[in-house]
Structure 1
Amino acid sequence: MTDRIHVPAQRSHRHHWRRDVVELAALFCAVAVADGIANLVAHGPRGPVLLVASAVALLVTAAFHTWWARRHSHAPPPDAAEPAFAGAAAGAASVHGLGSAPAAGTGTGTGPAAPGAQAAATGGASPHAVLWRMRTTVRDEPGSLAALCGALARSGADILTLQTHPLPEGGTVDEFLLRAPRELPSAELTRSIARAGGHSTWIERADAHDLVDTPTRVLGLATRTALDAAELPLALRQLLGRCTIHSIPATTLSGRPNAGADAPVEGVLEATVMRLRDPSGGAITVERPYLPFTPTEFARARALVELDARLGPRVPRSQDVLTLPEGNEITVRRADGADLPAARAMHDRCSDRTLSLRYHGPVADADRYLGHLLSPRFGRTLAATTASGRMVALGHLLWDGDETEVALLIEDDWQRRGIGSELLRRLIAMAVEARCDSVYAVTQASNTGMVAAMRGLGLPLDYQIEEGTLVITARLDAARTAAGPPHGLPRAQHAYEGREQQH
């Protein structure tokens, strides 16, 4: 997609005998003139005076020429630039993120510039600029990228970053991060790209997170995945943009093979659906109906999954020791599959009412959910244990496609002590860190403890009752500005103090 400029080679001029004669005659004439001047200066009556006068005349002429050049500049006016050169400069400046200058028109250029062109000329520094992410498909031929850049420059958009994704069937997907005037609608950008040869164009608003270059973002996601197995679904979502991710376990709760859980090692890419083998068993399905995946995106996603498979199960081992109002100490830490026996023992100590409020089904099936809930692939789990190591509470943050669910289970003897509120606060902080828009809790209206804990978050809540089930949704927009570290200590307004320990 690079422009190729073919410069024809100049033909070598054939030497002719007449040219040689002319050059030789000019040489003899120059020698004769020099000899005459030398004789006049050496043997003439006023030779030295003539030589000095010639030198003075040369100095005066040089001084006059310098003065005249400084007073009368011969530089062409800015508006006299060639249109083709101005358009090329605008495209080049836009590609390198230096601000896009509008191409010169066919007129004299004395009229006022358009608002979009003025914003582009200042490099998008206007406070009224917005960010856009745009992706379009073009033919893989010389000049196609230059045409897109020129169209964006004429629209007043500044190209901050650019990625190209070659397609196996031919063509290239070009992905831009644009800075454009706020008054420039997205439909106008799409029409400009269409006139320049782009098709299947997709555009959406971007934010400051998209300003991070792709290698840095991929390395950051790989680091997060290496530290915590629960980060893989989040890393895939941030890597691929707005998409839906489903983790399909290898077997159902009843032990039967799960349909759709078999994926080849190399994965499968089918336009808008990506299927990858889950290292912990089963498959990971990524769907993005509005935009097909490119082979480059598929390769990046597969690399993250392979990294997760090589590192094996892992969960951060940091923990907080908290002091309850009555003086008892509990430890809050991350939990995983290794805590399955302790979680089953806690189930045995819980009453049937507590289990039914948590699982909304037969109490006898409660233990079968634990393998799914404690797996890092489906979310994050916090456990509260006593000083003797006895598990008394579990809090779950579960990835549910595009949504996120929170759930709590507190042993009967440890309820009404603030443990549930503390676990919920930490789960919400994790959701904010994962850039979730909202979280929801499925409970019953009679579960006053869960309702009170959700209200205690101080976030906007939505309530919906479906067939006796209460769904409480908390919007996290307000929490993003005030949330502290996800694993930080409790705030002063909580009823107990904490001290952090690292292992």
Structure 2
Amino acid sequence: MRDIAERLPAWWTRRHGHAPPAGDTGARSLPQEQQAGPSDESSATAEAVPGQSTLWRMRTTVKDEPGSLAALCTALAGRQIDILSLQTHPLAEGTVDEFLLRAPGGLMASELTKVVSLAGGTDTWIERADAHDLVDAPTRVLGLAARTALDAAELPLALRQLLGRCTIRQLPATPVGGGRGPGGVPVEGALEDTVMRLRAPEGGVITVERPYLPFTPTEFARARALVELDARLGPRVPHSQDVLTLPEGNEITVRRADARDLEAAKAMHERCSARTLGMRYHGPVGDADRYLNHLLSPRFGRTLAVQTASGRLVGLGHLLWDGDETEVALLIEDKWQRRGVGGELLERLVAMAAEANCESVYAVTQASNTGMVAAMRGLGLPLDYQIEEGTLVITARLRAGRSGSRPPYEVAEEQVGERIARD
């Protein structure tokens, strides 16, 4: 959407990455000083509660020789630290051991790091954990594979949950505005310390960055396997659909849409007025069709379509990944505006964002677009408004309780984690 961004104010030009939401990583939001390396002494002291246990995630590198891991485990046991799980990531020199630890509540992160260092661990990274981390790695990976198999739009979200806090970007083989695409990537992908590059199933490049912690070859292999699974399964979206009756009595069907709806979407563009297209795309009406391949791709978000009883497409709603936030966008054919279609689409898009653990959604429109403003107000959520040069950005903060339903395997993971935490 770079062409659109260039026509908007400077603050908008930053919003073009369409990365999956940070909240859907499986990692918790932590203060900056706890996100990498030993925690700050004062903050660890404030959180330490004697008599209670604390969960920690830790990575450290040990020598690849007999007795190295045993020495580390013995040192941890000497401080009454329980090892709940252990994963090994072999390197060319040494091994990265990833632990989930339960330590006495009074033990600070700096003390734990010192224990590990004295036992031979190097390049130690540590952060607080919670019950979600108690689920074993095979169960988590199988759940992510099932999630990806059911819906192609889940691939970027699954990658982020697999790899923790990271930035994921996908560049199409042919940019929306034309010009040169991203450089080629080997079939097997490329791993460079804190950056991995994978060949996207439909062309282009998926780039994953995690500056605070280098990727291991094991993580790279897992990510590559997930992308390969997605490529083998091909384009797919859930086939569920809902038939709704509008207040006036007409029936509409709401369903997921993808690139197979391209021609129907172009036909809807032809039936829309120049004003409607201008409100949606913020630029020349003639450019509208160029963005559909991007918008309908599950790699950049999710799309809902509205069709009539005769099968005609009359509305599209998009949920687009954009870093820590998520954009919602609507296009309703003129004859179907002011009939509740946009509000129905927006409610469903927001529910999908909540299921993905997004903290907020925002809509970019024009101050004169009273229909979009009314639809956002109809959500019943706290709203923030920002207006600049006639462009209006409305941000809705999602309530924690509005998370919708979750896949059964995610519910099972949480229940298992809670049971282990109580033991």
- In the superposition, relative to structure 1, how do residues 242 and 467 fare at CA in structure 2: closer, same or farther (>3 Å)? farther
Q: Which amino acid aligns with 1:365?
A: D
Residues 362 and 395 of structure 2 are in contact (CA less than 8 Å); yes or no, is this contact kept in structure 1? yes
State the match for 1:352 in structure 2: 274
Deviations 1:282-338 (A, max 9, x none): 111111111110000000111111111111111111100011111111100000111
State the match for 1:424 in structure 2: 346
State the match for 2:72 in structure 1: 148
Residues 264 and 312 of structure 2 are in contact (CA less than 8 Å); yes or no, is this contact kept in structure 1? yes
Deviations 1:236-280 (A, max 9, x none): 1111111111111000124433133x2111000011111111111
Report 1 or 2 for greater relative contact order, CA contacts < 8 Å, sequence distance ≥ 6.
2
State the match for 1:482 in structure 2: 402
Cα drift, residue 376 of structure 1 = 1.2
State the match for 2:162 in structure 1: 239
Residues 50 and 105 of structure 2 are in contact (CA less than 8 Å); yes or no, is this contact kept in structure 1? no
Residues 360 and 395 of structure 2 are in contact (CA less than 8 Å); yes or no, is this contact kept in structure 1? yes
State the match for 1:19 in structure 2: none
> Equivalent of 1:323, from 242, 245, 248?
245
Residues 403 and 438 of structure 1 are in contact (CA less than 8 Å); yes or no, is this contact kept in structure 2? yes
Between the aligned partners of 1:200 and 1:322, the Cα distance in structure 2 is: 57
Aligned positions of 1:331-350 closer than 5 A:
331-350=253-272
> Equivalent of 1:458, from 349, 357, 380?
380
Between the aligned partners of 1:176 and 1:471, the Cα distance in structure 2 is: 43
CA RMSD in angstroms, aligned pairs only: 2.3
Tell me, what secondary structure is at the counterpart of 2:254?
strand
Q: Which amino acid aligns with 2:125?
A: W
Residues 354 and 402 of structure 2 are in contact (CA less than 8 Å); yes or no, is this contact kept in structure 1? no
State the match for 1:362 in structure 2: 284
Q: Which amino acid aligns with 1:268?
A: A
- In the superposition, relative to structure 1, how do residues 206 and 465 fare at CA in structure 2: closer, same or farther (>3 Å)? farther
- In the superposition, relative to structure 1, how do residues 198 and 469 fare at CA in structure 2: closer, same or farther (>3 Å)? farther
> Equivalent of 2:214, from 287, 292, 306?
292
Aligned positions of 1:20-35 closer than 5 A:
none
- In the superposition, relative to structure 1, how do residues 263 and 117 fare at CA in structure 2: closer, same or farther (>3 Å)? same
> Equivalent of 2:295, from 364, 373, 384?
373
- In the superposition, relative to structure 1, how do residues 413 and 176 fare at CA in structure 2: closer, same or farther (>3 Å)? same
Q: Is 2:53 the partner of 1:133?
A: no
State the match for 1:186 in structure 2: 109
Between the aligned partners of 1:452 and 1:156, the Cα distance in structure 2 is: 58
- In the superposition, relative to structure 1, how do residues 238 and 486 fare at CA in structure 2: closer, same or farther (>3 Å)? closer
- In the superposition, relative to structure 1, how do residues 144 and 372 fare at CA in structure 2: closer, same or farther (>3 Å)? same
- In the superposition, relative to structure 1, how do residues 190 and 417 fare at CA in structure 2: closer, same or farther (>3 Å)? farther
Residues 167 and 294 of structure 1 are in contact (CA less than 8 Å); yes or no, is this contact kept in structure 2? yes
Q: Count matched residues.
A: 360
Tell me, what secondary structure is at the counterpart of 1:230?
helix
Q: Which amino acid aligns with 2:232?
A: R
Residues 137 and 173 of structure 1 are in contact (CA less than 8 Å); yes or no, is this contact kept in structure 2? yes
Cα drift, residue 343 of structure 1 = 0.7
- In the superposition, relative to structure 1, how do residues 149 and 447 fare at CA in structure 2: closer, same or farther (>3 Å)? farther
Deviations 1:167-226 (A, max 9, x none): 12x011111122334554333323332333222222223333222111111111111111
Aligned positions of 1:134-213 closer than 5 A:
134-168=58-92, 170-213=93-136
Between the aligned partners of 2:275 and 2:54, the Cα distance in structure 1 is: 53
Residues 49 and 105 of structure 2 are in contact (CA less than 8 Å); yes or no, is this contact kept in structure 1? no
Residues 463 and 472 of structure 1 are in contact (CA less than 8 Å); yes or no, is this contact kept in structure 2? yes
Between the aligned partners of 1:372 and 1:347, the Cα distance in structure 2 is: 15
State the match for 1:439 in structure 2: 361
Q: Which amino acid aligns with 2:62?
A: V
Cα drift, residue 281 of structure 1 = 1.1
Unaligned runs of 5+ in 1: 1-115, 120-125, 488-503
Between the aligned partners of 2:116 and 2:380, the Cα distance in structure 1 is: 45
- In the superposition, relative to structure 1, how do residues 383 and 183 fare at CA in structure 2: closer, same or farther (>3 Å)? farther
State the match for 1:223 in structure 2: 146
State the match for 2:31 in structure 1: none
Q: Which amino acid aligns with 1:235?
A: A
Cα drift, residue 379 of structure 1 = 1.2
Residues 439 and 473 of structure 1 are in contact (CA less than 8 Å); yes or no, is this contact kept in structure 2? yes
Residues 166 and 210 of structure 2 are in contact (CA less than 8 Å); yes or no, is this contact kept in structure 1? yes
State the match for 1:122 in structure 2: none
Between the aligned partners of 2:248 and 2:151, the Cα distance in structure 1 is: 34
> Equivalent of 2:304, from 382, 385, 396?
382
Deviations 1:412-458 (A, max 9, x none): 22222222222122112222222333332222333232233223323
Aligned positions of 1:12-161 closer than 5 A:
119=51, 126=52, 129-161=53-85
Tell me, what secondary structure is at the counterpart of 1:482?
coil
Between the aligned partners of 2:49 and 2:365, the Cα distance in structure 1 is: 55
Tell me, what secondary structure is at the counterpart of 1:209?
helix
State the match for 1:279 in structure 2: 201
State the match for 2:181 in structure 1: 258
Tell me, what secondary structure is at the counterpart of 2:152?
coil
Unaligned runs of 5+ in 2: 1-47, 408-423
Output the TM-score relative to the length of structure 1.
0.67
Q: Which amino acid aligns with 2:192?
A: E
State the match for 2:32 in structure 1: none
